Structure 1
Amino acid sequence: MTQEEKQASVAGETAPGHAQPVQHKKASGRGGVVLGGIAIALTLGLTGWIYLHGHQQGNAQQAEIAALKSQLAGAIDSIGTLKQAQSQDLAGWQTGQKQLQEEMQSLQARVLDLNEKRPNDWLLAESEYLVRMAGRKLWLEHDLVSAVTLLANADERIKALNDPSLLPLRKALAEDIAKLKALPTLDREGLTLKLAALSDQIDLLPMNAVAMPEAIAPADQQVSGQLDDWQNNLKKNWVNFTENFITIRRRDGAVEALLSPQQEIYLRENLKTKLLQAQLSVYREQQDLYADSLDKAQRWVKQYFNQDDSATRYVLGELAKLKDEQVKFDYPERFQTQAILEQVLNDRLQRILAGH
């Protein structure tokens, strides 16, 4: 029994005298039941539709979420792979950098070790430089004194090493120095200064005067007292008579003509040129040209200048002394020290590079 029927029954019992209202109430209760059923049915249908629609949307959302999750997982995997590759590249780069740093540190340590263990090897390099400079002084400038000094300085540096293995090198140095000291020395600067001083004296030399040959002494014109000598006496009287009108003196030999002023200037300048040529020959070590220049200068002074003058005699004496000077020498073509020193340096360099 429904709630409405119960209510109608209760109402009938309390009001028995009203029958018509009771029937109307029963009809109304049946219509409410129908409406309630429809409402329930609609509610259930709507609920089912809502549930079905919600279920379908949930399934779609679940599928979309699953797809998104799959994409996200793929992206995460890609990121992981990329990170792994980057990590490997970074690890390789860091490993390479670490190796380079280790090699640099190793090289620095070797350099410091070599500097500490063999600081005197620089003296060998200085000695080799001094030997090369000695060769340049000798062969290019012909400076024998400077070459000997440079070789002696190189020997002092090798001596400071206090290395018994370098005794052959010092022996070669001593032999090279002895050879150079055995060569004749020449003061080139002093020699050229002497030649320059003689050149300044050329303008002061007096020229030769006209050389007149001595006159022949006249014969004795005294008349003798002998009668048999009458012919000679007559001749003598004739000569004595004619001497008051004409005087004739006979001279034998040619008369040297004086040079003109222009020729005298040329002569003096040519003499100066010969002396300047001799100076250049000293520095160039041209022995033949040196001797020829002084020989011509000496010959011209004797021929054209007054031999009785003290300045002329001084110039001739100096030219004779300078002409005997030796200006050319035979130098050694190479120092034997050079080859030995180069070999020592190469050996030590190889040991350094090998790390010993």
Structure 2
Amino acid sequence: MRIAAVAIALLVAQWVDTRMQVAGLQQELARRLADGDSVAKEGRALARQSQEALAALQAKVGVLEAKLAETQSQAVALEAMYQELSSSRDERLLAEVEQAVVLAMQQLQFAGNVEAALIALQGADARLARSVQPQFLPVRKLIARDIERLKGTPGANISGLSLKIESVVAAVDSLPLAYEQRPRAETAKPAAAARPVSVDYWRQLGADLWREFRQLVRIERIDHGDPALLAPNQSFFLRENLKLRLLNARLALLQRDGKVFHEEIRQSREQLDRYFDGRAKPVQAAQSTLKVLATTDVSFDLPGLAETLTALRNLKFARERGAGAAR
């Protein structure tokens, strides 16, 4: 009995111990299961974050790919534009040079302005000099020849001569007429130094009276026989007639008609001498300008630029035809 009781006690103790171990194992298992759940939740959260980050990265990659494709298309377009510009650069250069030569021809034909023509030709030569194309050398030689010919043209400043005539025309209305001139005022003599009281007072008074009496009558020399007397309306037509003569002279200058130019200048000078006050400074200035114009040769021939323009257009046409055949 006693042995059986001890065995039962041992069995009960072992069962209790086993139960305690099983309970501990259950608690440990529950704890580990809870830890596993938390880890799983964290894993799922990390996986979700990773998926979101991956989606964002994929979206960014898509945007970058779109931008790369756009950049590549722009690069292709720019390359095509560059090729087109490179192919048409010479054509544009020839067009600019042709325009400069045409401008120089217009300045020579219509205004006789050699300086403006030289500036245009020098600009055209500078544009061609920046290009190293050997086919431009014949045109450059022709332009250089024209520049030297224009530089050697004597008295070709038609624009300057035209401005001189215009200055006289602008001053005609203010020029004083000869019949309006006034006698020259005598310069006042310096006051006599104080004389001693012993000088005869009446003799001095008589001298002063005689000097004042002489001022009442004045005799003056006039270069012309008699200055023309003109009514106000005649004065107006006289000035207008003088303007017309000067404008005719300027027109003859532009036409390089030396005979008509010098005749109009001569008659204008005669009108100034006959009807206007030669002592007035404006009249003297106008006479001086007309004197210079009267000695100027305006019947010179300016060099033409037709040969240069023809060569330039032939070169341009040949290049355009070659470009069309290449296409």
TM-score where L is the length of structure 2: 0.51
Relative to structure 1, the CA distance from residue 258 to residue 295 in structure 2 (aligned partners, 3 Å threshold; closer, same or farther) is: closer
User: In structure 2, do the counterparts of structure 1 residues 198 and 153 end up closer, same or farther at CA, with 3 Å as the change threshold?
Assistant: same
SS at match of 1:140: helix
Unaligned runs of 5+ in 1: 1-108, 210-254
Quote the offset at 1:271 in angstroms: 2.9
State the partner residue of 1:37: none
User: 2:139 aligned with 1:169, yes or no?
Assistant: yes
Instruction: Kindly provide the amino acid, as one letter, of the partner of residue 310 in structure 2.
Output: A
Which position in structure 2 is the counterpart of 1:289?
A: 260
Question: Which of 254, 272, 292 is 1:321 aligned to?
Answer: 292
Q: Is the contact made by 1:126 and 1:154 (CA closer than 8 Å) also made in structure 2? A: yes
CA distance in 1, matches of 2:226, 2:278: 15
Amino acid in structure 2 at the alignment position of 1:199: V
- Per the TM alignment, residue 162 of structure 1 is displaced from its structure 2 partner at its CA by 1.0
- Give 2:109's aligned residue: 139
Q: 1: CA distance between counterparts of 2:82 and 2:296? A: 58
Distance 2:82 2:226 in 1: 89
Deviations 1:298-346 (CA, angstroms, capped at 9, x unpaired): 2233334555665554443333222223344312233432222222222
Q: Structure 1 residues 340, 318: CA separation in 2 closer, same or farther (over 3 Å shift)?
A: closer
* Structure 1: distance between partners of 2:81 and 2:239: 70
Q: Distance in 2 between matches of 1:314 and 1:126?
A: 44
Distance 1:263 1:257, change over 3 A: farther
Q: 1:207 pairs with 157, 169, 179, which one?
A: 179
Contact kept? 2:245, 2:265, Cα under 8 Å: yes
Residue 317 of structure 2, aligned match among 341, 346, 353: 346
Separation in 2 of the partners of 1:318 and 1:172? 38
Partner of 1:151: 121
Superposed CA RMSD: 3.4
Corresponding residue of 1:96: none
Task: Please report how far the alpha carbon of residue 172 of structure 1 lies from its aligned counterpart in structure 2 after TM superposition.
Answer: 1.0
TM superposition shift of 1:175: 0.5
Correspondence for 1:238:
none
Question: RCO (CA 8 Å, sep 6+): is it higher in 1 or 2?
Answer: 2
Structure 1 residue 179 displacement after superposition:
1.3
Unmatched runs of 5 consecutive residues or more in structure 2: 1-78, 182-224
Whether the 8 Å CA contact 2:98–2:309 is kept in 1: the answer is yes
Task: Kindly indicate whether the alpha-carbon contact (under 8 Å) linking 2:110 and 2:254 is maintained by their aligned counterparts in 1.
Answer: no
CA distance, structure 2, for counterparts of residue 342 and residue 274 of structure 1: 42
In 1, the alpha carbon distance for the partners of 2:258 and 2:96 equals: 36
Q: Aligned partner of 1:192: which letter?
A: I
What's the CA shift for 1:256? 5.4
Aligned positions of 1:1-356 closer than 5 A: 115-117=85-87, 119-183=89-153, 184-186=156-158, 187-202=160-175, 204-207=176-179, 259-261=229-231, 265=235, 266-305=237-276, 312-355=283-326
**CA-to-aligned-CA distance 1:116-161 (integer Å, 9 cap, x gap):** 5564332122212222222222223333222221212221221222
Report Cα offsets for 1:201-239 as digits up to 9, x if no partner.
43x132299xxxxxxxxxxxxxxxxxxxxxxxxxxxxxx
Matched letter for residue 124 of structure 1? L
Q: 1:300 to 1:208 in 2, by over 3 A?
A: farther
Counterpart-to-counterpart distance in 2, 1:138 and 1:319: 24
Is the alpha carbon distance of 1:342 and 1:126 closer, same or farther for their aligned partners in structure 2, counting shifts above 3 Å? Answer: same
> Does the aligned pair in 2 maintain the 1:206–1:309 contact within 8 Å?
no
1:294–1:323: 8 Å Cα contact kept in structure 2? yes
Q: What is the CA–CA distance in structure 1 between the aligned matches of 2:115 and 2:103, rounded to whole Å?
A: 13
Q: What is the identity, as a one-letter code, of the residue corresponding to 1:190? A: L
Identity score, percent: 24
**Distance change in 2, residues 1:274/1:162 (3 Å):** same
- 8 A contact 2:256–2:298 mirrored in 1: yes
Q: Secondary structure at the match of 1:338?
A: helix
C-alpha separation in 1, matches of 2:169 and 2:264: 14
SS of equivalent residue, structure 2 residue 111: coil
1:171: Cα distance to partner?
0.9
- How far apart are the structure 2 equivalents of 1:125 and 1:258? 61
Report the counterpart of residue 186 of structure 2 in structure 1: none
> Deviation at 1:352?
1.4
Cα contact 1:137–1:147 (8 A) shared by 2: yes
Give the aligned partner of residue 7 of structure 1.
none
Q: 1:308–1:140: structure 2 CA closer, same or farther, 3 Å change rule?
A: closer
In the aligned structure 1, how far is the partner of 2:300 from the partner of 2:142?
22
